[in-house]
Chain A
Amino acid sequence: MSPTASGYAIDLQNVTKIYRRRVHALQDVSMRVNRGEIFGLLGPNGAGKSTLVKIMVTVVRPTSAHGTILGHAIGHKATLGRVGYLPENHRFPRYLSGRQVIEFFSALAKADRSMRKKRAAELLDLVGMTAWADTQISQYSKGMLQRVGLAQALGANPDLIILDEPSDGVDPGGRRDIRQVLLHLRQQGATVFINSHLLSELESVCDRVAILVGGKVARQGSVNELTMPKQCYLFELESPTWPAVAATFVGAFDLGAPPAPGRPARGWLQDKSWCEFDGIALRVGRTEAANVQDIIDALRKNNLVIRRMQLIRPSLEDLFFEAMTDLTTQPAALSGARPPPLSGRS
């Protein structure tokens, strides 16, 4: 069922932030996060990710913004009681223990006293910090602080959890644990919004992602939706010659001469699917095995030996770098209009 406008956990429309009347941190950012999903926000440094997150939790005031968080206007203070937040480079009071951190910030989120105590114990157990619960956090490692930080964000049993770089400084084991917690939260019906640099991590847990570049949303959608237009079949050929390839796909390529290194020949087949030849491998923008049988036949007919054939699925990293290099920052709907880069993952 498609969520209604008020049914979104986060529904941001035209969020703009201009610092000191000069720096355009965010430009008309629109983003929707469904309830009960894990949503990933990625982008290079300075893309405006943290600014966007801070606007959602009222730490930064937007220059202009419309939309809702959990059905209430952005900036509605009471709603923040239902939002858990872990900031990047957080600094908890050094004189508190892990348990006190969770209880204190739960109290600020207006959680009941009895619930705070019970919940703190549960959360410490969830993040594997029970043994260190009553130790002052000044003695914690970075990874332990992140675990307690995550528990703190969950203290008031929020409906929406916003995590800014939750895996920052955490070892691989800790990252796996955090991933498990996020999946557990999704199972419980909570919405999780993660801002992270770790693309592989986002890819493994996020239902949907948005890529922010230069203060604008460059891509937005589910990982599958975003990568589908970039999927292709790769045919690695045995000593192919340009005349043979050109003869196989007459009129398809934009080059009359053999492709130079780094400058593949690109074109369109008769069924409007894209194709690309870099001198060794041929890529065709089709995703079904049944749809590439004619390509195999054509190659074999022209005595081109197929050494390897593989379905290529671009990774989130590929999308990320493509969005970064795409200076025009095309909207998500148009993504896939151009052939994908050479790198990829099967």
Chain B
Amino acid sequence: MSQTLALIWDAYRDLNSRRMFWIVLILSALVAASFAAIGVTSTGFKIFTWEIPSPILNSKELSPGDFYKSIFLNYGIGFWLTWLATVLALISTASLFPDFLAGGAVDLYLSKPISRLRLFLTKYACGLLFVGLQIGCFCGASFVVIGLRGGAWEPGIFLAVPIVVLFFSYLFCFCVLIGVWTRSTVAAVLLTFLFWVFTFGVHTTEVTLLTFKLTEESAAARLDKLIQSDQERLANWQRAKATRPTTQNSDYVTMYQNDLKSDRAKRQDMHGSFVRPHAIFYDVKTVLPKTSETVALLERMLISSARLEHVARDRQDDSENSSAELNGNPIPMRELQAEIRSRSVGWIVGTSVGFEAVVLALAAWIFCRRDY
């Protein structure tokens, strides 16, 4: 235990000595402080004394507490912590293992009565400590700002700490694997960013293909209904034509026959061309860490814990009511949201943590088996 504590204390001193740690911390403090600079009025919101009218962001639509919580959610978490601060944290922690594995440094640790696996895992945990401390400080500052300015003391904000650390750990484990394997900080940073872009790309492609698939399915269902209706109307007009043969009746029969023919042709073109590509990307995504969805989990949890359901509902309604179309067909936003939301926390976190475990096991295996 004293060894683990010594390693953790050393990691803290290491972080303390890194300029980037303090830069990120100061920037986090500035971001949190900037929340305090924003105020909400009955007609909109204001930054310092500059008033910006808004039909949504005003004290009539949102209480000051909800206003600040929504800012925290959208900008503090969605933009700062999961993008900019993560990039800075990755740059800062990428050298942790390559520096540790440098000749003359690792020898000092390996020659002590501590197992290599324990040493590896403790060092890994110490890397996560960086992000944990940063997010903890940011959430603490945001908690105070939202409490003082918005009058809402919302402890749910601290849910961001485990979730963002989890999100960061998906990337950090990959960074550690590259760092242990190549012993190069540059390679670790660059390949981790590439991996991040790759997972983001797979996620975006999967969601896009899902949108195409659902839009097509929705259009097909609509056409099926139309064909059924065409068939019914055609049958009615054919009965009318048989009992009362008139020119008008014959015209309607011809028209509905043409409509039916055209709709059937359109329906025949729809043969689920997005089902297989989507299934492939879904399978690929299943084995990869789900960075975006993990952060979205935070939004889900924070929205319910911070009683921001109406913010979420408004956002959902907006997207559902949007007139977005794909190949002339309206996008079924409700189904899309439902499909995405139907993915369980177990699937999102479980498969991601599974990936992390495999990558970490590989990195630990390299670390433990190598001669230094």
- Verify if A184 is at the interface (C-beta below 8 Å from B): no
Contacts of B371 in A (CB 8 A): 19, 54, 59-61
Q: How large is the interface on B (under 10, 10 to 19, 20 to 34, 35 or more residues)?
A: 20 to 34
| Residues 277-308 of A contacting B (Cβ, < 8 Å) | none
Q: In the complex, which of the residues B13, B111, B112, B114 contacts A95, with contact meaning CB atoms closer than 8 Å?
A: B13
The distance from the CB of B22 to the nearest CB of chain A, in whole angstroms, is 13
| Residues 1-35 of B contacting A (Cβ, < 8 Å) | 2-3, 5-7, 10, 13-14, 16-17
- Verify if A107 is at the interface (C-beta below 8 Å from B): yes
- Asked if A57 contacts B113 (CB within 8 A), the reply is no
Q: In the complex, which of the residues B3, B10, B110, B114 contacts A93, with contact meaning CB atoms closer than 8 Å?
A: B10
- Verify if B346 is at the interface (C-beta below 8 Å from A): no
How far, in whole Å, are A148 and B171 apart by their CA atoms in the complex? 37
- Asked if B372 contacts A95 (CB within 8 A), the reply is no
Contacts of A60 in B (CB 8 A): 371-372
Q: In the complex, which of the residues A96, A104, A108 contacts B114, with contact meaning CB atoms closer than 8 Å?
A: A108
- Verify if A78 is at the interface (C-beta below 8 Å from B): yes
| Residues 89-138 of A contacting B (Cβ, < 8 Å) | 89-96, 100, 104-105, 107-110, 113
Chain A residue nearest to B103 (CB atoms) is: A89
- Asked if B16 contacts A95 (CB within 8 A), the reply is yes
- Verify if B347 is at the interface (C-beta below 8 Å from A): no
Q: In the complex, which of the residues A77, A81, A100, A108 contacts B109, with contact meaning CB atoms closer than 8 Å?
A: A108
- Verify if B108 is at the interface (C-beta below 8 Å from A): yes
Given A88-B104, A110-B3 in contact, is the A81-B112 Cβ separation under 8 Å? yes
- Verify if B105 is at the interface (C-beta below 8 Å from A): yes
Chain A residue nearest to B369 (CB atoms) is: A61
Contacts of A96 in B (CB 8 A): 10, 13
Contacts of A59 in B (CB 8 A): 106-107, 110-111, 371-372
Q: In the complex, which of the residues A54, A88, A100, A109 contacts B113, with contact meaning CB atoms closer than 8 Å?
A: A109
- Verify if B329 is at the interface (C-beta below 8 Å from A): no
- Asked if B372 contacts A93 (CB within 8 A), the reply is no
- Verify if A80 is at the interface (C-beta below 8 Å from B): yes
- Asked if B110 contacts A58 (CB within 8 A), the reply is yes
- Asked if A91 contacts B105 (CB within 8 A), the reply is yes
- Asked if A90 contacts B16 (CB within 8 A), the reply is no
Contacts of B109 in A (CB 8 A): 108
- Asked if A105 contacts B108 (CB within 8 A), the reply is yes
How far, in whole Å, are A339 and B351 apart by their CA atoms in the complex? 73
Contacts of A78 in B (CB 8 A): 113
- Asked if B6 contacts A107 (CB within 8 A), the reply is yes
Taken residue by residue from 7 to 50, chain A's Cβ proximity to chain B (1 for < 8 Å, 0 otherwise) reads as 00000000000010000000000000000000000000000000
Chain A residue nearest to B16 (CB atoms) is: A95
- Verify if B345 is at the interface (C-beta below 8 Å from A): no
- Asked if B115 contacts A108 (CB within 8 A), the reply is no
26 residue pairs bridging A and B, Cβ less than 8 Å apart: A19-B371, A54-B371, A57-B111, A58-B111, A59-B372, A60-B371, A61-B369, A77-B113, A80-B111, A80-B113, A81-B112, A88-B104, A89-B104, A90-B105, A91-B104, A92-B108, A93-B13, A93-B14, A95-B13, A95-B17, A100-B13, A105-B112, A107-B2, A108-B3, A108-B7, A108-B112
* Chain B contacts to A: CB under 8 angstroms: 2-3, 5-7, 10, 13-14, 16-17, 102-115, 369, 371-372
Given contacts A90-B105, A93-B10, 7 further A-B contacts (CB under 8 A): A60-B372, A85-B107, A85-B108, A87-B107, A87-B108, A96-B13, A108-B109
